[in-house]
Amino acid sequence: MKKLLSLLIAVTMLFVTCAGSLMTVCAEEAPKASVVTSRSGEDAPAEEDVQETAVPEPEYIGEETEEPYNVNPLTGIADLDEAAVGKRPVAVMINNHPNSYPQLNISQADVIFEVVVEHTLTRFMALFADYNNVPNLCSVRSYRYYFPAISNGFDAYYIHWGEDMTMMWYYEELNLDSYDGLSNTYLFGRDQNRLDAGYDLEHTSTFYGTLLPDQLAADGKRTDLDEAHQGPAFRFVPYGTVRIPGEETCNFIDIQFGEQTGQFTYDPESGLYLKYANTEPQIDGMNGEQLSFENVLTLETLIIDREDEADRKLLNVFGGLDESYAVGYYASEGHVQKIRWAKEDESARLKFYDEAGNEIDINRGKTYIAFTYPGSITVSDTIPEEYLW
């Protein structure tokens, strides 16, 4: 743990040193929002100001009922098989390079994280609550050091193909139960259809999730969630209710990661946000469905280039270092609210707060979470015409 603490101290100092210039650049390049846009260049509010911020009382719809025993800890929905209750989830690194589209079976994920990697492209980490029901996934890629730090907060098995070699010591300190496609030939292989179609080799890597239970049994891996991670992974609304997160309507979200972009449009018929990648619908190539989510959480953080690797990043996944950038937006049910966020350490869960510092609950359903640059998020009540088809 001393190494972890040393790294965090060093990274924190680097963030603080670079914060002023980085946030100024981000603020200058930030797109203008129709309704609400992040303002990364503001001075951090004093603690007493944060506590006194007036926040409207949350609006809940529906009637609270007793929560069933088989609630999925990642979605809050009672759809888990009895054998999966109290068991560990699975986190899988998914390629999100445009040349890898469409990914296969990612619509089955309970939670998807999207985070910047090199060249301001992004990568997914997909979480599945039931390790006995993880589908075969393609294409699988390597991690960057901050992804396993996120995964550790869920006590998840960690699945990847390749690693961030310069940060191996950090990865080893986390002591994850993990499987790597570079060394495991049972759980990993190549998608023949993609090979035949001419995909580059890196976009054909497949994780055979259906074989994971046998591998875990053979290796004698712990399958029960540890004591610290029992119960829901997020603070969900009372069972039977839905929360309207804010007074501002939100029908469109735009995230400018850099070279790569992401968009969401709200579909009032389904009550879900539909995902786009680089302005095009992001489709699951296995079932043809567009990715959709009940909750969209876009979290600003400081992201800077690492000097020891070409355009790889140092990224703060802990939040709370400075009130001016540990902010974000929570969108659900066609509405949005500005939030703050924090993750106490590698093993801790992400928590979300309103502007007065009160922890908020999120709606039950699938969740998308992005870590992105300050000033890169735009939310609006108006959907641009090119998305109305």
Q: What is the pLDDT of residues 30-79, one digit of tens each?
A: 332 222 223 233 333 334 444 456 677 788 999 999 999 999 999 999 99
pLDDT above 90 covers a percentage of the chain that reads 76
> Residue 58: what pLDDT?
80
Residue 309 has a pLDDT of: 61
Phi, psi for 127 (deg, rounded to 5): -110, 140
- Kindly give, in sequence order, each residue whose CB lies less than 8 Å from that of residue 299, ignoring residues fewer than 6 positions away: 319, 327, 328, 341, 369, 370, 371, 372
**Does the pLDDT value for residue 348 go beyond 50?**
yes
pLDDT at 308: 67
Position 278 scores a pLDDT of 96
3-state secondary structure of 194: helix
Number of domains in the chain: 1
Bridge-partner residues for 138, per DSSP? Answer: 104, 206
Q: Is the pLDDT of residue 29 over 80?
A: no
Q: What is the pTM of this model?
A: 0.88
45 vs 293, more confident: 293
- Report the CATH number at residue 171: 3.50.90.10
Please tell me the predicted confidence (pLDDT) of residue 3.
40
pLDDT of 233 over the 60 cut: yes
Q: What stretches of 15-78 adopt beta strand conformation (E)?
A: 36-37, 59-62
Mean per-residue pLDDT over the chain, rounded:
87
Q: What percent of the chain has pLDDT over 70?
A: 84
Alpha helices (H) in 162-251, listed in sequence order: 168-174, 192-197, 212-219
The more confidently predicted of residues 29 and 75 is 75
Model confidence pLDDT, tens digit, residues 235-290: 999 999 999 998 899 999 999 999 999 999 999 999 999 999 999 999 999 999 99
pLDDT-derived band at 26 (thresholds 50, 70, 90) equals very low
CA 268 to the chain's CA centroid: 23
Which residue range(s) make up the domain with 51? 1-389
